[in-house]
Amino acid sequence: MTQNFFRLLFLAGISAVFFSCGSSGDRTMQTETRRFEQRFYLTDNKSDGVLIVNMTVDLPKRFHNKRVLRIIRDDIVANVFGKEFVQYSNRNLLRNFAKSLAEEYRDNNLPLLNSEIFEDSGVAFNKEFVLDAFAYGDENIFTFSVVSETAHTFFNYNLQDGSRILEEDIFIENFEPILTEIMKQHLLANLRINSIEELTGFWTENIVPNGNFFFINQAIQFVFNPYEITRGPFGIIIPFENLTEILKPNSLINRLTD
């Protein structure tokens, strides 16, 4: 449920903002969607347990600058799957990653199955791994979004050089206190609350820049996963025009506002 909520909420917000990844003849990053679904049984006795793996991932496929393409693709794979999987092609990536999950699943659970504690207990060692990762972008930025059952994580890349866009690339030095206050004020305004003291159901001390953001419609949205600032997922949108006090003069945001 949480995973579907994350994806639907996000896609609804960006649907009219960016060019679609994959259109030919443009200068956006083109992607391909890879899917993998398989059951890995713990033993020959299927009732002992099963690992269900289900993955759908948009992977960078084509870009006019092949060096930038390689930098971004490899960084995504290293961060989402692990550095050891960078060597695999898009075609073979998910299959090899799933095989490693199956090996880990069996290594962790076979000793338990054969232990005195669980012997003849009838306990099934079932597990499910679900990964949904999708991408979007324009001629300036490529964003890769990873959705799991409990979290939504964003990776933003500068298409000029392939570098990951971090808060430090956008904002001046020592921006955190000012940005924290801006975030809280926008949260209060959106909820139509006058003061932070009136805010209930939130852990206000955790409302700080968290590095998990994406760009949307002349704004930046910070994404908080469940139990980071409240029980459910939550986003705080701040228009670029409200960030001018702390934006670097040569920030990428300046190009987005032209």
Query: What is the percent of the chain where pLDDT is above 70?
Result: 86
Give the distance from CA 113 to its chain's centroid. Answer: 34
pLDDT (average), residues 74-91: 98
Beta-carbon contacts of residue 175 (< 8 Å; ≥ 6 apart) = 167, 209, 246
What pLDDT does 18 receive? 42
**What is the per-residue pLDDT across 100-144, written as a single tens digit (0 to 9) for each?**
999 999 999 998 887 766 665 556 789 999 999 999 999 999 999
Considering 45-49, 153-157, 213-217, 248-252, the range whose residues carry the highest mean pLDDT is 153-157
What pLDDT does 234 receive? 93
Helices (H), 65-198: 66-80, 90-113, 167-170, 176-191
Q: Up-side HSE of residue 237: CA atoms within 13 Å toward CB?
A: 11
Question: Does residue 6 carry a pLDDT above 50?
Answer: no
**Are 148 and 53 in contact, with CB atoms under 8 Å apart?**
no
pLDDT, mean over the chain: 88
Domains of the chain by start residue, with CATH? 2-165 (3.30.565.40), 168-257 (3.90.640.20)
**What is the per-residue pLDDT across 143-165, written as a single tens digit (0 to 9) for each?**
999 998 778 999 999 999 999 99
